[in-house]
Amino acid sequence: MAFPHGRDAQPPAGNGLIHRRFHRRGPLQGSLGERPPEPSFLDIRRRFAFRSIGIGRWVTDAEKQRAAGLFYDALSDLMAILKGPEALISLRGTLALQYGQGGQRGVAAHYEPATHTFALAKNAGPGSIAHEWFHAFDHYICDKAFAPVPGASFGSKAWLANAAGLSHPLNDRLRNCYHTVLLNEAGTAPSELFERSAEQDKRMGTVYYALPEELCARAFEAYVQDAPIKNSFLVMGTRQTDEARLGLYPQGQQRARVNAAFQDYFTHLGQALYRSAEA
């Protein structure tokens, strides 16, 4: 699928989000529903049915308008990549969105499980949407795909803890995604992605990169960045960054298998959600 109308949807480069440039090459918005000429955060909430959207008090009107357009296109592009309806993006209206509000010091973007909230800092975090959205999805899907396991609030963590899987063809496909990210092709040892991530944790004296929820979120980033639709506000950095060179994103054959597994799962999930909406 070709998208000849790629564009840099930004004003000239400068300081802050409002002046940064983000490349986008995606489908015409008419194919995804009518795009408002200047989308607002209210348009985003109405279209995707987020539970709530909060904007920080220090976000100027110009920054708010600029960010709303970037978010609208990024979320539309994510929806197109996943081949699902708007309800998938807001996780059936359970997900809240914050911009320039409620962030953590020194953290550009984060997902807060306790409040089911995805937050992006005002002047940082572009390219983090795919990663944080998958954290939200991984959290949301946990009790729908697995029997309860103490301390496992993410599907990826429940899978690694050998939680009993709830029987459903979609859940089988989801478990295959986790398997492909976390284990080698034979399923007999940790994946190369896990090994490289554990090595980085050891160098840094921490436990972060090798956490199952972080491994799967970075693998999902790679899947989204490899899609024909390109949007650097949605995702970037899985190929040409220091982290990518360290092997902290899937590489080579594993990347191809991970992409195929996510494609298979989300295509079937999207079809099921569309059928449910039409019923």
Q: Mean of the pLDDT values across residues 202-221? A: 97
For the stretch 197-211, pLDDT in tens is: 999 999 999 999 999
Q: What is the mean pLDDT of the chain?
A: 88
Q: Mean of the pLDDT values across residues 34-49? A: 93
pLDDT at 21: 73
pLDDT at 213 over 80: yes
pLDDT at 152: 81
| Residue-range domain boundaries for the chain | 16-273
188 vs 149 pLDDT, higher one: 188
For the stretch 259-268, pLDDT in tens is: 999 999 999 9
Segment (H or E) for 121:
none
Q: Evaluate whether the domain defined by 16-273 bears CATH number 3.40.390.
A: yes
